[in-house]
Each structure stands twice: as C-alpha cells, then as structure tokens.
Amino acid sequence: MKLQGTIKIKSPTEKVFCWLEDPQRAMEWMTSVKKTEIIKRTSEMIGTTFREYIEENGRGTEMRGVVTEFIPNKRIAFYLSGDFNSVKVDFSLEESEGITLLTQTAIVNFKGMLKVFSILFGIYFKRKISHQIQHEFTRLKELCERSTE
C-alpha cells in the first residue's frame, strides 16, 4: 500500500529537517511513537539502526529500523519492520523563499493475517493511515513554524 502526503511549512528546510532527523523531536509530532532508541549510529547516518515502540488504541508493538538514505536538509529515508508490517518511509524537502515543501512517501506491507485483512479492508486502512499522516503533518507544521518565531 503506497501513501503520500505533502505539506507547505513556513520555515527553512534546516528547521524542518531537525524535526525529522532527531528521534526525540520526532516523537513530539509522530503520534503513535511512544519510545525510540538508537541501537547503532553511523557517522554518515546511513546504516544507523534503531527501534521504536509504536502504540495505538492501547496496543503496542516494536519496530526495528535502519536509515537507508540521508542527505542533510534534503532527504531522509528508512526501513522499519515489525511483527505486523514493514514500512519504507521517505521524507524529501524542497525550499523556496523560506517555505519548505515536505513530501512523505510510505510503502506499507502487512504481514500474516493483516495481509489478508488489507486486501479486504484496504480502503479503510489507507484512509486511516492517511488521516494519521495529515494529523502528524499538522503537528509538525505547528512545531516548525512556532520554533521560527
């Protein structure tokens, strides 16, 4: 399942990128991430491994991830895998006249029984995840624009 979202943020890319690359800051706008831990950090960031504890509606799971692309103030991408799904996430940033255009592309692959449910209820899952992305983007926008004042 492929999902994509874009938002304009009245803030330079450097400010927006710091909210993406810093796990502690990211938890402030990513609603389902309750805990994050860097397992191994590489000097160039690509190959850095981490784990996140994701919780939604009182249920949680651990996801393990690796940074797959890292271009400061331009792009960060990672791959996450857990018991129920795997996700490839890519954030790209473009700046024009102090406004950052942030685009997130996510490819979600469900595992086990959720794979079957995703076939039957794919539209519902896509709507739910898209709504979550929009909610998180709104929060990120607020944080970035507030921090530049």
In percent, the amount of the chain with pLDDT more than 90 equals 64
What DSSP character marks residue 30?
-
Which of 54 and 64 is assigned the larger pLDDT?
64
Give the residue from 95, 72, 75, 134 showing the smallest Cα distance to 9: 95
Whether 149 shows a pLDDT value over 50: the answer reads no
Q: What long-range pairs does 77-82 form, CB within 8 A, spacing at least 24?
A: 80/52, 82/54
Whether 135 shows a pLDDT value over 60: the answer reads yes
Strand partners, 38: 50
Number of C-beta neighbours around residue 59 at 10 A: 8
Question: What are the tokens at 41?
Answer: 């950090």
What class does CATH assign to 2-147?
A: alpha beta
Whole-angstrom Cα Rg for the chain: 15
Per-residue model confidence as pLDDT tens digits over 72-127: 999 999 999 998 889 999 999 999 988 999 999 999 988 877 776 666 676 777 78
Q: Rounded CA gap, 93 and 20, in Å?
A: 10
